[in-house]
Amino acid sequence: MERQFRIYRYNPEVSPTPSFKTYTVDVQPAWTVLDALNAIKWDQDGSLTFRRSCRHGICGSCGMKINGKNGLACEIQVESLKGVITVEPLHGFRILRDLVTDMDGFFAHIEAVKPWLIAGTPPTDGERLQSPEDRKQLDGLYECILCGACTSACPSYWVNDDFLGPAALLKAARYVMDTRDEGFAERVDVLDSRNGLWRCHTIFNCVEACPKSLNPTEAIVKLRQKLTALKI
């Protein structure tokens, strides 16, 4: 079935002004938006630029805005979308070219929360075992694939890209809530900073945007509770 894709085009080497270009694609059953983008790139316009890698919603490369909503191009079925399909880069990040955004700041914020296990003692049996109950506390925190959909949807981040953002805070919560981790005190400096936890105004856009149905707002609340317990 033929479908139309209205795609954001921007190449600063050619023109400083972005524009939209519409492509007609013969879409096969069960195609995702990424399949259609590939078809455009391979058969119609090799200059179209976008990120993708795994094609299975795992790597987080293909985060983009599809019909006004953030999502993964490789997970969204074309059949689920109505009318002309508009594809844009993630909002809030500097656009490098077409659908490719500059994610340097995003990853610097992830790194700032020390996204690794900080334990004072070496593991006893080679592995750091955890009870099933303790492990369960990490559900909804460990599944993040770092696609940037949540941070890109956050109005606090739009006005202040120094704000750590929902993805980095969810990542922090993944380690802070881990019973084997002892690094909370080390992370407090960045979490309780001017651009840390307090810049979240509980707008919930991140929750709506996450393609993995995670809840960064809840993670932020958990971090605030943990910080309150530490300080008081």
Partner 1 sequence: MTVNRGHGSGGFWWWLMQRVTGILLFPVLLLHYVATHLQTSHFVEYDKIAARVATPTWKFLNIAFLTIVLFHGLYGLWNVLLDYLSKKPALRAVLFSLIVTIGLALYVLGLVTIIPFSA
Residues that bind partner 1 (CB under 8 A): 104-105, 107-109, 111-112, 156, 159-160, 162-164, 189-190, 192-199, 201, 224, 227-228, 231
CA angle 145, 216, 146 (to 5 degrees): 15
Would the CA dihedral through 198, 199, 202, 205 be positive or negative?
negative
Burial of 209 (0-12, 13-18, 19+ CB in 10 A): buried
The option from ligand FES, partner 1, none interacting with 190 (CB < 5 to 8 A, set by class) reads partner 1
Q: Judged by CB, which is closer to partner 1: 3, or 199?
A: 199
State the first-to-last Cα distance of the chain, in angstroms, to the nearest integer.
62
Q: How many H-runs (helices) and E-runs (strands) does the chain carry? A: 9, 7
Can you tell me whether residue 5 is helix, strand or coil? strand
Q: Judged by CB, which is closer to ligand FES: 59, or 95?
A: 59
For residue 156, the minimal CB distance to partner 1 (Å) is 6
Q: Judged by CB, which is closer to partner 1: 40, or 170?
A: 170
For residue 176, the minimal CB distance to ligand FES (Å) is 26
The option from partner 1, ligand FES, none interacting with 200 (CB < 5 to 8 A, set by class) reads none
Q: Judged by CB, which is closer to partner 1: 111, or 182?
A: 111
The option from ligand FES, partner 1, none interacting with 43 (CB < 5 to 8 A, set by class) reads none
For residues 108 and 168, give the distance between their C-alpha atoms in angstroms, rounded to a whole number. Answer: 9
